[in-house]
Structure 1
């Protein structure tokens, strides 16, 4: 694992963007590691040459999770449309002459995915995608790693990561006791699964 600063990671992303054709950079890691923050900062530093497409846009809708009996463990691998995410990555790699590809995003205030939220113009050289399960090697997640040119695994201090998660759930409306139970149960089960696949990343980093 490397301890590295944001400037060095942005330089590495610029190198990817300078290659020929469309490149896709993945940022993986357990819940609360800071993936979305890092991804947004990388995109910001690339000055219009990158677009952020989050994996969380492929959360199944709440009504579908209820129908499937999975609402109580939202965030687990089988509560996403993993095949749909892989299909989007294929489109992003080869837009087929389209002016733009549209991707969904996840609205944390609604706790629902929102279709067509992210526009990826054809001339953007780098797509940055982030999420928990980019490195999973089983089921419908298995193709994802091969569709990414490079993957970084973002490590974080476990105590800090758990505090961030609890605070996030509280910020978006959960009572603190409920948030703490959710994090120590569902979120931490998912974190252990994500950690098992960190060796498939090109780079394991902890931000300085």
Structure 2
């Protein structure tokens, strides 16, 4: 039986500091299917947010994340003229900067999931690499990775998303790399060292 189980809820958006995470502890009956609720605070009006939910065991690890997207309601006193405050300056064409941050958010013995953020840089495609070998778009099943991301209309040069690496070896150390590309070329990459868990015997 699972003990000390809980759900961890993460929320992030381009151009905003990370929202404090929320943990929802399961009851004594760890297989209770009753609805669980998590309240996320410190959000901003009229913003796109990615919400990531992970099932975790205390002192062990968190599993593969599930994610969804939401848009918060506008502030009731918001002024329609605020749209004029959006940046209108021309961006100089160049390759994307490296991701400003890359964070491990979950995984198991054969999977690792990382979130990343590009700030103030024009990206068209996001690529990932395992141990800085072949760069992949994560669009083909043979790539052994999945990619998801979104833009914020208010911050067109910011981009946030998640890459899930699959078919990893249990108990192995990996270097996970992410970079952005556009019509000029591919920019610098940022990496994160991760250790997969050991496979639990049935």
Q: Structure 1 length as normaliser, TM-score? A: 0.26
Higher strand share: 2
Using CA pairs under 8 Å that are at least 6 residues apart, name the structure with larger relative contact order, 1 or 2: 1
Higher helix share: 1
Rg comparison, structure with higher value: 2
